[in-house]
Amino acid sequence: MNFDKISRRGVLKGTAALTIGSALPLSSALAKDTTVGFIYVGSRDDYGYNQAHAAGAAALKKMSGIKVVEEEKVPETDAVEKTMESMINLDGATLLFPTSFGYYNPHMLKMAVKYPKLRFEHCGGLWTEKDPKNAGSYFGYIDEAQHVSGVVAGHMTKSGKLGFVAAKPIPQVLRNINAFTMGAKLANPKVTLQVIFTGDWSMPVKEAEATNSLIDQGVDVVTCHVDGPKTVVENAARRGAMVGGYHVNQAVLAPQAYLTGAEWNWEVLYPRFVKMFTSGETIPNFYRGGLKEELVKVSPYGPMVSEAARKQADEVKAGLTAGTYVIFKGPVTDNKGKTVIASGVARGQTDPELEKMDYLVDGVIGATS
Amino acid sequence: MKADVGAPVTKAGVGELLRLPPFGRKFGGAAEYVVIPALALAASLILFGIFVALFGKNPIDLYFYMYQGAFGTWFSWQNTLTRAAPLILTALCTALPAQLGMVIIGGEGALLIGALCSTSAALAIPDAPPLVVDFAMAAAGMAGGGLWIMLSGALRHYRGVNETISSLLLVYIALAILNYLVEGPMRDPTSLNKPSTREIGVANMIGSIPGTDVHWGFVFGIIAALISYILIYHTVFGFAARVAGGNIRAAKVVGLSVGKLILIICFLAGAAAGLAGMMEVAAVQGRTNANLAAGYGFAGILVAFLARQNPLAVIPVAILLGGIGASGGLLQRRLGLPDASVLVLEGVIFVMVLASDTLYGRLSFFRAKGS
């Protein structure tokens, strides 16, 4: 064969034929690799929510026989449906991870109905029996890691005032705020936590303003629950406050101010899911877990964290990892004085009541609406 | 090319080299509006190719993937048209007031208000037959969006407030209203971590155009664009609007009621964006929540300007931008380009098309000989 005759056009034509061909079931049966698609709502390097998922995807790239395709900044509209279909039709993806909350209903569910032979896994959704069987939802009890981070914050604060920059007063966020506060109060019962809601998941300007205003009020440890904690972490550190991280380890952004943080551990979960998928095992439709199941982790303590703080935080972490420690154990009162969990009631992590949380516990300054 | 002895001396240049006299004489004026934007587009693609080459990627791959992702397969076509659907309607929100010389950039706000109004209409009559519900949704969405932009028009006409600024600021007010209602009075109590209104119900969803995944919003967009075109270029009302757009004093002197023109045109513009919001609810989301603020209103401004504010040209331009959006994913996945690269391309196209304005009437190729 005369290779000189192979023109660029010929190669392109061939690639086109192959790619179009890969949409057909015949050729996908020949493909050896399993293609896994990841879709992010923001950018992959946001030092936050999306970066945590991208780190999980990166862990898959090290596995043999696995091909990862990724797309970032996909809005929560029919654009995400088209992205999923594009990954299916043009890349041959058979397992998809649309990772943002708003992708679940109706977008991912619609695609799961349309492609019943493929698998769809969503982060944060609540899969129920009436949803398609080839769809699933997973999430981590990251409030456990926030609780440990709260213990450290309670030890380290000098002013007794903590600050929390939060996106929206929804159950997942309130649970983090409450778990963090309750952790801090284990270390120092007099501690208060001021919360500021910015109103949306990614509002860097408001997040910076909120951080500054918290520090102006005497807060000396700031943590947050927004999509990209970079703004909060950097601003707090610049103003001389200590910080607790969220989503991923932000110690690189503020090595001298970073106490610890609550991190996702998707690097462990995604390979676990993909192994189940390639070996033909069914991934559970509803998958949840905390420190014990290694879905979340606590950042390594920063150099300034005291011995006493490390000791108590390690104890709490050990209890949570063993599954013997319950965070939401009565009596718990909200910040208006109402008892929300009665004395003697222990709400374990899987308790559905916790998914409906609509209060801030005693010690939190702020309101849910 | 051999010059005839005694032929009139014409200016040498690109136009001369490309000269096709009979065609130029006959269709030059109209062809200009096709050839110049096409040249601007080609130039932008070349520039973007250079940009991509600087990052060590092969531009040929780039063009191939762009073509494949946008128009290369039947699936890609549907992807493109789905993305184009809301853009046609939101572009009209900018293109219509432009006939009056007004720059309205608040289509996003009208879209959000339209979505809220249409959802409210659907939730108010839960037991009505689907056709009635959809009709009520469209009427409510268009009325809501229309009044929203009319507010900008009224502020401009009665109080002298700049309509560009007021329509932009109204976007943030619309977003605040939407967030307040969705997280407060209109919230479905079961929407725990994603505050949303109640769903309008599967029966009331308008499906896709048969045989495709493209929702009906695309067809309504084309109809709206056609109606707008006829209204602006083939009716007395449209003529009056263009006169007022050309010279507002002259229009007043000849007795046109400029205020009425402003209010009606702004209403129609907002109604188009409101209809886009209704379509997003009735064809895609099934309810209202923060997902609706996806920037379709802002993308529509780009479409309108690229279409030179011509309601008919809005259709192909929206499809083009839909195609760029559709291929953006493939560029990320195959070439490892960041999402922002699509924004770079859109920006380059925008600048090139605006810059190419200067070429109109200057290329001798389009001019009849001797003129």
Q: What is the pLDDT of residues B302-311, one digit of tens each?
A: 999 989 899 9
Determine whether the interchain pair A369/B72 forms a contact, defined as Cβ–Cβ distance below 8 Å. no
Spell out the long-range contacts of A353-358 with Cβ–Cβ below 8 A and sequence spacing 24 or more. A354/A171, A354/A175, A354/A328, A355/A126, A355/A171, A355/B192, A356/A171, A356/B192, A357/A171, A357/A174, A357/A175, A357/A178, A358/A169, A358/A171, A358/A174
Residue B269 has pLDDT above 60, yes or no: yes
Cis bond before residue A106 (omega within 30° of 0): yes
- The number of C-alpha atoms within 13 Å of B161 and in the hemisphere containing its C-beta is 16
Mean pLDDT, chain B, as a whole number?
Answer: 88
**What's residue A9's pLDDT?**
52
Q: Residue A224 pairs with which residues in a beta bridge?
A: A165
**A73 contacts on B by Cβ (under 8 Å):** 339
Amino acid at B344: V
User: For every one of its 369 residues, what pLDDT tens digit does chain A have, with 9 covering 90 and above?
Assistant: 444 444 555 445 544 544 444 444 444 444 568 999 999 999 999 999 999 999 999 999 999 999 999 999 999 999 999 999 999 998 999 999 999 999 998 999 999 999 999 999 999 988 999 999 999 999 999 999 999 999 999 999 999 999 999 999 999 999 999 999 999 999 999 999 999 999 889 999 999 999 999 999 999 999 999 999 999 999 999 999 999 999 999 999 999 999 999 999 999 999 999 999 999 999 999 999 999 999 999 999 999 999 999 999 999 999 999 999 999 998 999 999 999 999 999 999 989 899 899 999 999 999 987
**What's residue A18's pLDDT?**
44
User: Which strand (E) or helix (H) includes residue B250?
Assistant: helix B248-253
- Phi, psi values for residue B276, rounded to 5°: -60, -40
**What's residue A121's pLDDT?**
97
A 186-225 → B contacts, CB under 8 A: 199-200
**A104 contacts on B by Cβ (under 8 Å):** 194
What is the SS3 assignment for A311?
helix
DSSP B40-98: HHHHHHHHHHHHHHHTT--HHHHHHHHHIIIIISHHHHHHHHHHHHHHHHHHHHHHHHH
A 10-69 → B contacts, CB under 8 A: 12, 15-16, 19-20, 23, 43, 69
**What's residue A22's pLDDT?**
44
Residue B17 has pLDDT above 50, yes or no: no
Determine whether the interchain pair A102/B291 forms a contact, defined as Cβ–Cβ distance below 8 Å. yes
Residue of chain A whose Cα is closest to the Cα of B331 = A71
**What's residue A32's pLDDT?**
65
* Domain definitions of chain B by residue range: 87-307
Q: What is the mean pLDDT of residues B72-87?
A: 93
**What's residue B363's pLDDT?**
73
* pLDDT more than 90, % of chain B: 67
What is the SS3 assignment for B14?
helix
CA distance B284 to B277: 10
Q: Which residues have CB under 8 Å from A219's CB, separation 6+?
A: A159, A161, A162, A163, A194, A241
pTM of the entire predicted model? 0.86
* Domain definitions of chain A by residue range: 30-140, 143-262+294-365
**What's residue A7's pLDDT?**
52
**What's residue A2's pLDDT?**
45
Rg of chain B in Å (alpha carbons): 23
Residue B108 near residue B294, CB atoms below 8 Å:
no
Q: Residue A139 pairs with which residues in a beta bridge?
A: A288
Determine whether the interchain pair B73/A102 forms a contact, defined as Cβ–Cβ distance below 8 Å. no
CATH architecture of A30-140: 3-Layer(aba) Sandwich (3.40)
**What's residue A302's pLDDT?**
96
Give tens-digit pLDDT for B171-226.
999 999 999 999 989 999 888 888 899 999 999 999 899 988 899 999 999 999 99
- What is the phi-psi region of residue B230: left when phi exceeds 0, alpha when psi lies from -120 to 50, beta otherwise? alpha
CA distance B95 to A284: 51
Residue B330 near residue B324, CB atoms below 8 Å:
no
Report which of residues B26 and A196 the model is more confident about: A196
DSSP A156-186: H-SSSEEEEEES---HHHHHHHHHHHHHHHH
What is the SS3 assignment for A194?
strand
CB proximity A73 to B under 8 Å: yes
Residue B216 token pair: 């009906």
Burial class (CB in 10 A: 0-12, 13-18, 19+), A340: buried
What is the SS3 assignment for B238?
helix
Q: What letter does residue B196 receive in the DSSP assignment?
A: B
Report which of residues B295 and B368 the model is more confident about: B295
CA distance B99 to B239: 10
The partner residue sitting opposite B193, judged by closest CB among A77, A85, A171, is A171
Determine whether the interchain pair A200/B82 forms a contact, defined as Cβ–Cβ distance below 8 Å. no
- Among B79-83, B117-121, B341-345, the range scoring the smallest mean pLDDT is B341-345
Residue B47 token pair: 């520039």
**B295 contacts on A by Cβ (under 8 Å):** 75
Residue B37 has pLDDT above 70, yes or no: yes
Residue A178 near residue A329, CB atoms below 8 Å:
no
Residue of chain B whose Cα is closest to the Cα of A73 = B339
CA distance A97 to A105: 14
Q: Residue A166 pairs with which residues in a beta bridge?
A: A197, A225
Amino acid at B274: G
Indicate if the alpha-carbon torsion angle B93, B94, B95, B99 is positive or negative. Answer: positive
**What's residue B65's pLDDT?**
92
**What's residue B366's pLDDT?**
62
Determine whether the interchain pair B329/A74 forms a contact, defined as Cβ–Cβ distance below 8 Å. yes
CA distance A79 to A71: 11
ipTM: 0.82
What is the SS3 assignment for B217?
helix
Nearest to A184 by CA among A223, A135, A149, A137: A149
* pLDDT more than 70, % of chain B: 90
CA distance B82 to A325: 50
Topology of domain A143-262+294-365 in CATH is Rossmann fold (3.40.50)
Indicate if the alpha-carbon torsion angle B245, B250, B255, B257 is positive or negative. Answer: positive
Rounded to a whole number, what is the distance in Å from the CA of A205 to chain B's nearest CA? 15
Determine whether the interchain pair A72/B286 forms a contact, defined as Cβ–Cβ distance below 8 Å. no
Determine whether the interchain pair A82/B79 forms a contact, defined as Cβ–Cβ distance below 8 Å. yes
> How many other CB atoms are there within 10 angstroms of residue B249's CB atom?
9
**What's residue B28's pLDDT?**
53
CA distance A354 to A175: 8
CA distance A227 to A272: 25
**What's residue B146's pLDDT?**
98
CB proximity B72 to A under 8 Å: yes
Indicate if the alpha-carbon torsion angle A197, A202, A207, A209 is positive or negative. Answer: negative
Residue of chain A whose Cα is closest to the Cα of B289 = A102
CA distance A104 to B213: 19
Residue B57 token pair: 């990627």
CB proximity B139 to A under 8 Å: no
Residue B110 has pLDDT above 60, yes or no: yes
**A72 contacts on B by Cβ (under 8 Å):** 332, 338-339
DSSP A84-140: HHHHHHHH-EEEEEE-SGGGIIIIIHHHHHH-TTSEEEEES----TTS-TTEEEEEE
Cis bond before residue A331 (omega within 30° of 0): yes
Burial class (CB in 10 A: 0-12, 13-18, 19+), B29: middle
Report which of residues B366 and A258 the model is more confident about: A258
- What is the phi-psi region of residue B268: left when phi exceeds 0, alpha when psi lies from -120 to 50, beta otherwise? alpha
DSSP A37-85: EEE-SS-TTSSSHHHHHHHHHHHHHTSTTEEEEEE-S--SSHHHHHHHH
pLDDT tier at B368 (50, 70, 90 boundaries)? low
CA distance B66 to A200: 33
> How many other CB atoms are there within 10 angstroms of residue B227's CB atom?
14
**What's residue B194's pLDDT?**
87
Q: Residue A289 pairs with which residues in a beta bridge?
A: A140
**What's residue B267's pLDDT?**
98
Same fold, A30-140 and A143-262+294-365: yes
User: Which strand (E) or helix (H) includes residue A192?
Assistant: strand A192-197
Indicate if the alpha-carbon torsion angle B203, B208, B211, B213 is positive or negative. Answer: negative
